[in-house]
Structure formats: structure tokens, C-alpha cells
Structure 1
């Protein structure tokens, strides 16, 4: 789903975790597996003590998080909501830190997570103010996209996976209805996002340059990548429209962040 980051933060993280655990498309999940394998190999080659040290994961610091993390036009983002999201984000950041050797800056990460949740809340409120509605057809289509994205066979499998993470089917459906409304809001803001040939060629040149830097030899042709490039450019335009809208809404909003 191209705009999954626009979901309420906890739900967005749950989707990322599902993709990492069960989907071939979960790049971060694959990266974690590669990292774990590297640590195992290093532990075998450099001694048991060092291998254990590299495998040790830091703990998220949530003791200092206030009961109300932020207030957005009178709506509160609670510690419970924030903690669920922050712990998942921290886990991903910690995995990356093991690869880079840089310690996670938890103060900075807390601010980033809080700001992301504020932005999402602003979009939710704006979608409600504009009267967008989530039809049953739109909701089912989004659920089916999630099923396909995570390599599952049915909606029941998807709901079961979320329930294992402590999220009920009613909670999931409520989040999905909200996401449908946000999608409609962003579509209205973004307007025509169909890319031109020039935009597709620019995206292709950037992608192939990155692949060349990574040492990839068998680079697909423009025509072979055109469908993926089209979705990539559309997503970029939608994300830019969403970020612009968040910035505009933030200027007129009553927002207080306590972390």
C-alpha cells in the first residue's frame, strides 16, 4: 500500500512488522535476517564473548514519557498509544544501529515519532472536517491489498496476525476506514499524479545510478521498470502533497508536544 505511513502510527508499524515477518517484500525484515546472520558469523570467527556483545539489543527508554505525549486541537495522544509505536520504531532503529555501529538517539527518535503521530492526527481531523466517507467497497479493497502485501491467503489470516499483536478485528477495521478517508483527502490534495515520460526517465536514471553504486550489474531496462517507476513517482507526488498539507494544517492548529 503506497501510503501506509499515513495510517495511525501504531497500525502503520503493525503493517511493517507483518511485512518483515511474513512477506518477501519486507526489506527491513530481510535486512534484520542478514544482520543476524552476520552477527552469528562474526561471533564464530571472533569469539563467543564478542558475538554475544554484538547480538545484545538496547532497551527502549519509556519511563520518562508523560501520560499525554501531545495534544492536537484538543485531542490527546496518550502514552499508551505513543509507547506502542515508539517501541516498534526503536526496535527497527536498534537493528540498524547494530549494522552502522551508531547508538540510537532516543530523544531524537521520540520527537520524530511524536511529530509523526501529530501529523497523522492532523490528517485524520481534516478528513473528518471535509466529510469524507469510507464505503464498504473501499474498505474491502484496502483489506485485500494488505492481504496481498503480506503474502497471506485471506482476510481471516490477516486479522489473525493482527490479533496476535493484540489488535482486534474491530480495531483494525476502524483504522482501515480512517485510512480510506485519509487516502481520499490526499487524492484530493494531490490532484493528477500521472507521471510524464520525463519524470519516469528521471526516476529511472536515479534508480539505475543507485544500483550501479551498489555494484548491480544486471540492471533492467526502462521498459521493464516502467510500471514500478510509475507507482514510485505517483507515491512520491502523493507523499509530497500529504507533507505539504500537514505543514499547512500545523500552522493553524493548536499543537502541544510534551516529549
Structure 2
């Protein structure tokens, strides 16, 4: 289910599920008091740095740009909504991670190494992999640390959500929507049998995201007193 998150992990930003990069510059205790000027928010005392927030915001802006929606053409309200959505996703990611780490979920080093080898296999050679790490300003150990956190969250989500399946009716409804969209553009849709597997995965992804969204909403309500957003 959630394991497909690992595909292209080096290129991922917050746009992929509800999970984004969590602040690396955070720590317990006096983080909020001592480094408040460097933080955009804290979740149960653990900080999300302005540096990581700006990095994710830039990535989201680039994504909008690629979709033909340049941020410099947005009005003030739309920009504020974009900034809020980025911060919310980072808070949700940190909240999910903390919750998962407090559960009985455990990830063995061997599991991380296995996933790392899968990632490396997507590159021509070790040099290309090292170049990707350098481009993302990350060491292999830092990547493994982030992967372990991601795997912990994935396993936690799987334990809470369980197996998600698509019914024949849902797949047909997805196809009908796809067919109508293409026909309105005077394009010929693919036959149902040919794209049924892709439609099934799309339905499952949507249902997974809905379940994750519900879980995150519940966690936010339960932990709202532990979330502090700092003024810029």
C-alpha cells in the first residue's frame, strides 16, 4: 500500500501524500524559547525551522509554476492560503511522525538497507546516486534516517487504515469520469479493459488519502494544545 512512497524518494517534496520534510533543526526542551526567531512552528516542543519551511514553500511554488499557475500572479489571499497549506502539511507530518514513534512500531536496520538498495537501483551507478545526494544536500546516513522515519510513519498508517480496496462500481465510475472528460475535449478514451488496473490504483490512492486525512484531522484535534505557530 503505502510502500510506493519510496519511488523516487530523493525527488520528493511535500506535494506527495500528507507527508513532507520535517524540520531537522529541532530539539526538545528549550527549543521554542531559545530559537523562536528561527522557527515557524513547534509540535509538542519540537521545532519546524524557517529554513525547512522556506525550502518546502519554494518547492510548492515551483510545482504551481509547472502547472501554469505562477505564484507572482496570485492575489494576497491565494498566497496566504498557499503558505498556510505548506505549514499545515509540515505540522501534520511532524505530528504523524511523533505519534508513530510513540507507538509500538519498530523498523529494523535491515529493512532500511533493503529499501535503500531499491533506491540505488534506480540510478545508473553509485556516482549518479552520490550526485543526487549532493544535489539534495544530504548524506547517505541522513537519507537513511529520513527513510526510517518515513517507514515508521508508513507502518503506523497501515496499522491504522488497514487494507484498502476498490470495488468494481468505483472503478467503473472512475472510468466514466475519465471518458466524459476526454470526450468533452473531442479525444478518444482508452478502452476500459486496457486502463482498468491504473484506474483501480487511482481509486485506492484516493481512498487511502481520504483515510489518512481523517486520521490527521483526529490527531490535530487531540493535540491542538501542543501545536504553536510562531509569527514571522
**TM exceeds 0.5?**
yes
Q: 1:197 to 1:250 in 2, by over 3 A?
A: same
Mapped pair 1:236 → 2:206 = yes
State how far apart, in whole Å, the 2-side matches of 1:185 and 1:159 are.
30
Aligned with 1:220 (options 190, 193, 217): 190
Q: CA deviation at 1:115?
A: 0.5
Partner residue in 1 for 2:151: 180
Query: 1:79-118 maps to which residues of 2 (within 5 A)?
Result: 79-96=50-67, 102-103=73-74, 105-118=78-91
Q: 1:205 to 1:138 in 2, by over 3 A?
A: farther
RMSD: 2.9
Q: 1:100 to 1:69 in 2, by over 3 A?
A: closer
Partner residue in 2 for 1:44: none
Q: CA deviation at 1:128?
A: 0.6
8 Å contact kept, 1:195–1:230: yes
Tell me the SS of whatever aligns to 1:77.
strand
Q: CA deviation at 1:127?
A: 0.8
Q: CA deviation at 1:251?
A: 0.6
State how far apart, in whole Å, the 2-side matches of 1:162 and 1:139 are.
17
State how far apart, in whole Å, the 1-side matches of 2:185 and 2:107 are.
42
Tell me the SS of whatever aligns to 2:17.
helix
Q: Mind listing any 5+ residue stretches in structure 2 that lack a counterpart?
A: 6-15, 24-35
Aligned with 1:70 (options 27, 41, 49): 41
8 Å contact kept, 1:189–1:241: no
Partner residue in 2 for 1:27: none
Partner residue in 1 for 2:164: 193
Report how many aligned residue pairs link the two structures.
Answer: 203
Query: 1:33-44 maps to which residues of 2 (within 5 A)?
Result: none
Q: CA deviation at 1:100?
A: 9.8
For normalisation by structure 1, the TM-score amounts to 0.67
8 Å contact kept, 1:7–1:175: no
Q: CA deviation at 1:2?
A: 4.6
8 Å contact kept, 2:39–2:230: yes
Partner residue in 1 for 2:139: 168
Partner residue in 2 for 1:9: 21
Q: 1:168 to 1:225 in 2, by over 3 A?
A: same
Partner residue in 2 for 1:120: 93
Q: Mind listing any 5+ residue stretches in structure 1 that lack a counterpart?
A: 12-64
8 Å contact kept, 1:193–1:238: yes
8 Å contact kept, 2:19–2:90: no
Tell me the SS of whatever aligns to 2:47.
strand
Tell me the SS of whatever aligns to 1:92.
helix
Q: 1:10 to 1:256 in 2, by over 3 A?
A: closer
